[in-house]
Homo-oligomer: A and B are copies of this chain.
Amino acid sequence: MIAETIALNEKGDVTLTAYIQPVEGEFRGIFERPAVLVLPGGGYMFCSDREADPVAFPYLKAGYDVFILRYSVGPDHAWPQPLEDYEKAMELIENRAEEWHVCKEKIAVIGFSAGGHLAGVAATMAQRRPAAAILGYAVLNDQAKELGEDLPNISGHVDEHTCPCFVFATRTDGVVKIQNSLDFLNALNRYSISFETHIYSYGGHGFSTGDHCVQSKSSLITERAYNWVEDSIGWLHEIFGEFGDQGMLPPVVKGHVNDDGEAWLSLDCTIGRVYGNPEARRVLADLFEEMEEKIPPFNPGMTFDDMMHTLSAYKLRELLCERNIGTDRFNEYDQRLQKIPNI
């Protein structure tokens, strides 16, 4: 592993640390790696060491390259300086992506508390957007004002271009109120953005990975709170795809809950959307025939049309999988659909 720390400003107090793992050779099928950019917390007053290296290790184990940004804090942090540090860091990573074998399209940010605020800004407002964001006990609504007058309320900036998010916190956090996470999740839902969330029953603020080397054993916190680490890795694999024998496998979770908002139809649109489109119905006639045959009506008087109406909010792919219908021809169906404008 290469470990390198690069100063991002003259004073040298803004730095990017890079942990870069090798590719190919014994790492068969790995030609480039996805990456995680860590944004430690510290109330924009400092960058916590407890939320830096200890957070990097599990993602390194999972096969990711990891970067840690120590951004502008304290008297120097006049907004938007931290955001500019982030942009500079992402630019640097993109510039050296080929050298480092980092997959530019698969860089996630992970931020905690104030670092979670910065990660949220990255996900919603930055020029160089991450492909996924993990937000831990993060400042995500107008509580941001307590950290600095100019800090944006991130929940107000979510839109349909926001990346998938993994949001975790403890219910009883006495520092960053749980309403932050709830407001943000509501905003994500408004724009059909993919997300996962875990709000654990009790625990204080700033527990990092929860290992006893970073978190006092005497803290009042539920042990479940530490599951976010493994859960967030499982989630990243879903968003970015798993490591396969010949490069990375395709993602199993897309950026939006379904493709109803996309320009072209696909298997990931809802049944309502596909079945309601005459052209799609023509093009998938064989599939719908098979469905009619294999999905029995829910009650005697029901027609197939009625049933498709009842199931209209299902993703087409989901229903087919569950019923084992045409799964061997998914690619073909998808290609047929992707030629039909979604209108």
From the candidates B185, B201, B220, B317, name the one contacting A317 in the complex (CB within 8 A): B220
From the candidates B1, B237, B252, name the one contacting A53 in the complex (CB within 8 A): B1
Contact B179 A189 (CB under 8 A): yes
Contact A213 B322 (CB under 8 A): no
Query: Bound state CA distance, A50 and B30, in angstroms?
Result: 12
Query: Bound state CA distance, A213 and B315, in angstroms?
Result: 24
Q: Which residues of B contact A179 (CB under 8 A)?
A: 189
Answer yes or no: A238 CB below 8 A from chain B CBs: yes
Contact B57 A324 (CB under 8 A): no
**Binary contact readout A218-254 vs B (1 if CB under 8 angstroms, 0 otherwise):** 1110111001000100110110001111000100110
Answer yes or no: A14 CB below 8 A from chain B CBs: no
Answer yes or no: A26 CB below 8 A from chain B CBs: yes
Answer yes or no: A182 CB below 8 A from chain B CBs: yes
Contact B224 A231 (CB under 8 A): yes
Query: Bound state CA distance, A3 and B60, in angstroms?
Result: 14
Query: Bound state CA distance, A60 and B16, in angstroms?
Result: 20
Q: Which residue of B lies closest to A254 (CB)?
A: B202
Q: How many copies does the complex hold?
A: 4
Contact A54 B61 (CB under 8 A): yes
Contact A61 B200 (CB under 8 A): no
CB distance from A131 to the nearest CB of B (A): 15
Contact B63 A212 (CB under 8 A): yes
Query: Bound state CA distance, A165 and B200, in angstroms?
Result: 11
Q: Which residues of B contact A200 (CB under 8 A)?
A: 196
Q: Which residues of B contact A253 (CB under 8 A)?
A: 201-202
CB distance from A106 to the nearest CB of B (A): 13
Answer yes or no: A15 CB below 8 A from chain B CBs: no
Answer yes or no: A290 CB below 8 A from chain B CBs: no
Contact A174 B318 (CB under 8 A): yes
Answer yes or no: A282 CB below 8 A from chain B CBs: no
Query: Bound state CA distance, A3 and B4, in angstroms?
Result: 9
Q: Which residues of B contact A27 (CB under 8 A)?
A: 49-50, 213-214
Q: Which residues of B contact A1 (CB under 8 A)?
A: 3, 53
**Binary contact readout A47-67 vs B (1 if CB under 8 angstroms, 0 otherwise):** 011100110011011110000
Contact A194 B201 (CB under 8 A): yes
* CB-contacts of A278-292 with B (<8 A): none
* CB-contacts of A161-201 with B (<8 A): 171-172, 174-175, 177-179, 182, 185-186, 189, 194-201
Contact A223 B234 (CB under 8 A): yes
Contact A213 B327 (CB under 8 A): no
Answer yes or no: A258 CB below 8 A from chain B CBs: yes
Shortest beta-carbon contacts, A-B, top 3:
A63-B213, A3-B3, A57-B61
